[in-house]
A = this chain, B = another copy of it.
Amino acid sequence: MALVVQKYGGTSVGSVERIRNVARRVAKTFDDGNEVVVIVSAMAGETNRLVALAEEVCEFPSEREYDVLVSTGEQVTIALLSMCLQSMGYNAKSYLGSQIPVVTDNAHAKARIRSIDDKRVREDLKSGTIIIVAGFQGIDDQGNVTTLGRGGSDTSAVAVAAALKADVCEIYTDVDGVYTTDPRMVPEASKLEKISYEEMLEMASLGAKVLQIRSVEFAKKYNVIIHVRSSFNDKPGTLVMKEDEEMETVLVSGVAYNKDEAKISIFGVPDQPGVAAQIFSPLSDANITVDMIIQNVSHEGKTDMTFTVPKADCKKAVQIVEEVAKKIAASGVRYNENIAKISIIGVGMRSHSGIASTMFQTLSREGINIEMISTSEIKVSCIIDAKYTELAVRVLHEAFGLNSTESNKA
């Protein structure tokens, strides 16, 4: 008998009919002889409806009250799914974050899980009950309702799986698994049978939207095997797990892209100690996340610096940098919002050389200019002109042998 944790996202529970489908899948897992704990999100559209209500009331709702409001979405789903299972003749019981309890810090709207008490859930499991848990929500040590931020239900599921030492944490979504790249862009993209935590983390942070980054960090820390799969069919999906030897033989596991960044350059910067801090401290103070940074070699005591920021923060960042430029007597500031970041990811890079240069050659062959480069142990990212995004993803996907053959497409 295995202990299976299953998580169903908003689309999977988006209507009463879909909740019934989820109930059937949960029941089947239980009938197969497993203990089952289910984590659910709010019905698709519900969280947006609640947020719209808050925005109608005031521009900047208090985060404590925001959490009280939006956490009702998951509460509705756990009740409906429990009722549905009960009407099918199963013992089912819903749990709010506060009832388990899932204890978090008090950072409302983006709380982090501190501990999960498994006592009550274990007792109920022992008595043959299917447990339905509200994802996304917790309670701080003062008893205030907290939420984990958008996509937080993934993290709830992995954290519950870790607390219960579950055999697997199945994350059901509207895609079949993790793909070598976005299948909407590259029809030849193939589903990965398995992927390491590290690769999944890079993919998530580079733009792939399958799993929330924090849930993968959690899974890595507690060694929880995640099975990403579709709630609309029975095909096996992708296992996210500890790196194994087989994974290392693959050079590149996936190609990711991100069009949500903008590039800012500051020219003629006096090349002296402390100047980088003068530029980036005010950006950090304004809560703007700087991603890639490059600095050219110095020429006559002057240098150029280029970095990327989220597109949404670009205007604000440019304003801040222009003030700094005056102060440090730099010669000018320019920005460009029409860029894309293209990345290749693979733990195989650790033990194989020449992968970055294959990437550069492939892009060059198509006449795609590389504006910035950033590398880590298991990824290489290039900033290019946004209009070449699709082309770059397609040619890299092919160059690294990721295009599906007829056999693995089946």
| Closest B residue by C-beta to A87 | B58
Please tell me the number of chain A residues within 8 Å of chain B, measured between CB atoms. Answer: 38
Which residues of A in the span 40-78 have a Cβ within 8 Å of any Cβ on B?
Answer: 50, 53-54, 56-62, 64-66, 68-69, 71-72, 75-76, 78
| Closest B residue by C-beta to A68 | B79
Which residues of A in the span 86-105 have a Cβ within 8 Å of any Cβ on B?
Answer: 86-87, 93-94, 96, 98-99
Task: Establish whether residues A57 and B84, one from each chain, have CB atoms under 8 Å apart when the complex forms.
Answer: yes
Residues of B within 8 A of A20 (CB): 57
Residues of B within 8 A of A94 (CB): 64-65, 68
Residues of B within 8 A of A143 (CB): 99
Give the complex CA separation of A143 and B97 in angstroms. Answer: 12
A118 CB to closest chain B CB, in angstroms?
A: 16
Task: Establish whether residues A62 and B76, one from each chain, have CB atoms under 8 Å apart when the complex forms.
Answer: no
Which residues of A in the span 161-220 have a Cβ within 8 Å of any Cβ on B?
Answer: none
- With A65-B83, A66-B79, A79-B69 known as contacts, the answer to whether A57 contacts B99 (CB < 8 A) is no
| Closest B residue by C-beta to A120 | B143
Q: A19-B57, A58-B84 are in contact. List 19 more A-B contacts (CB 8 A).
A: A16-B53, A16-B56, A53-B80, A54-B79, A57-B80, A57-B84, A58-B83, A59-B87, A61-B86, A65-B78, A65-B79, A65-B80, A65-B94, A69-B75, A69-B83, A72-B76, A75-B75, A96-B145, A99-B144
A82 within 8 A of B: yes
Give the complex CA separation of A143 and B98 in angstroms. Answer: 9
- Encode contact with B along A338-353: 1 for CB under 8 Å, 0 otherwise: 0000000000000000
Instruction: Give the contacting residue for A76; candidates B50, B58, B78, B79; CB below 8 A.
Output: B50
A357 CB to closest chain B CB, in angstroms?
A: 55
- With A58-B87, A59-B87 known as contacts, the answer to whether A53 contacts B76 (CB < 8 A) is yes
Give the complex CA separation of A144 and B79 in angstroms. Answer: 12
- With A72-B75, A75-B72 known as contacts, the answer to whether A80 contacts B54 (CB < 8 A) is yes
- With A65-B94, A94-B65, A143-B99 known as contacts, the answer to whether A57 contacts B83 (CB < 8 A) is yes
**Interface-centre pick from A50, A68, A71, A145 (highest chain B CB count, 10 A):** A68
Task: Establish whether residues A83 and B62, one from each chain, have CB atoms under 8 Å apart when the complex forms.
Answer: yes
Residues of B within 8 A of A65 (CB): 78-80, 82-83, 86, 94
Give the complex CA separation of A66 and B78 in angstroms. Answer: 10
| Closest B residue by C-beta to A62 | B86
Task: Establish whether residues B80 and A69, one from each chain, have CB atoms under 8 Å apart when the complex forms.
Answer: yes
Give the complex CA separation of A61 and B78 in angstroms. Answer: 13
Residues of B within 8 A of A145 (CB): 96
Residues of B within 8 A of A86 (CB): 58, 61-62, 65
Instruction: Give the contacting residue for A16; candidates B57, B84, B144; CB below 8 A.
Output: B57
Task: Establish whether residues B72 and A54, one from each chain, have CB atoms under 8 Å apart when the complex forms.
Answer: no
A223 CB to closest chain B CB, in angstroms?
A: 31
Residues of B within 8 A of A68 (CB): 75, 78-79, 82, 94, 96
Which residues of A in the span 300-325 have a Cβ within 8 Å of any Cβ on B?
Answer: none
A243 CB to closest chain B CB, in angstroms?
A: 41
A150 CB to closest chain B CB, in angstroms?
A: 18
**Interface-centre pick from A54, A59, A83, A86 (highest chain B CB count, 10 A):** A83
A136 CB to closest chain B CB, in angstroms?
A: 14
Residues of B within 8 A of A99 (CB): 143-144
- With A65-B82, A94-B68, A145-B96 known as contacts, the answer to whether A87 contacts B53 (CB < 8 A) is no
| Closest B residue by C-beta to A94 | B68
Give the complex CA separation of A98 and B79 in angstroms. Answer: 17
The 19 sampled A-B contact pairs (Cβ below 8 Å) are A16-B53, A20-B57, A53-B80, A58-B84, A58-B87, A60-B87, A61-B83, A61-B86, A62-B82, A64-B94, A65-B78, A65-B79, A65-B80, A69-B76, A69-B79, A69-B80, A71-B75, A75-B75, A99-B144
Give the complex CA separation of A65 and B98 in angstroms. Answer: 15
